[in-house]
């Protein structure tokens, strides 16, 4: 069996698709848990290819409500 403790491993918690306008490609938001520290991150991928990541947080909800994510979704 592979020892995952020496690698940066993440657990996928939830995936979202956000549609801004009908007919456009959606923005994608994933919430991941960093297994070494137990902290949660939200990653926003916009349709134009830009990527944003939240600061490490204690809960998935805090990661989703991080200003970096919420500002770029609007």
Residues 54, 41 contacting (CB under 8 angstroms): yes
Has this prediction a pTM greater than 0.85?
no
Of 59 and 22, the structure prediction assigns the larger pLDDT to 59
How sure is the predictor about 41, in pLDDT bands with cuts at 50, 70 and 90? Answer: very high
How sure is the predictor about 19, in pLDDT bands with cuts at 50, 70 and 90? Answer: confident
Only one residue has tokens 């830009």, namely 50
Domain boundary assignment for the chain? 9-73
Only one residue has tokens 């809960």, namely 59
Q: What is the C-alpha to C-alpha distance for residues 40 and 25, in angstroms, rounded to an integer? A: 26
Q: Where are the alpha helices (DSSP H) in 1-74?
A: 60-64, 67-73
With CA atoms as reference, report the closest residue to 23 among 47, 54, 58: 47
Q: What is the C-alpha to C-alpha distance for residues 12 and 4, in angstroms, rounded to an integer? A: 15
Q: Is residue 70's pLDDT more than 90?
A: no
What pLDDT is recorded for position 36?
84
What pLDDT is recorded for position 18?
85
């Amino acid at each position: 069996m592979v020892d995952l403790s020496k690698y940066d491993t993440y657990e996928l918690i939830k995936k979202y698709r956000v549609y801004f306008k009908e007919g456009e490609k959606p923005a994608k938001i994933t919430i991941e848990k960093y297994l070494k520290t137990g902290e949660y991150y939200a990653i926003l991928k916009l349709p134009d290819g830009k990527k944003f990541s939240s600061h490490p947080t204690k809960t998935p909800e805090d990661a989703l409500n991080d200003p970096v994510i919420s500002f770029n979704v609007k």
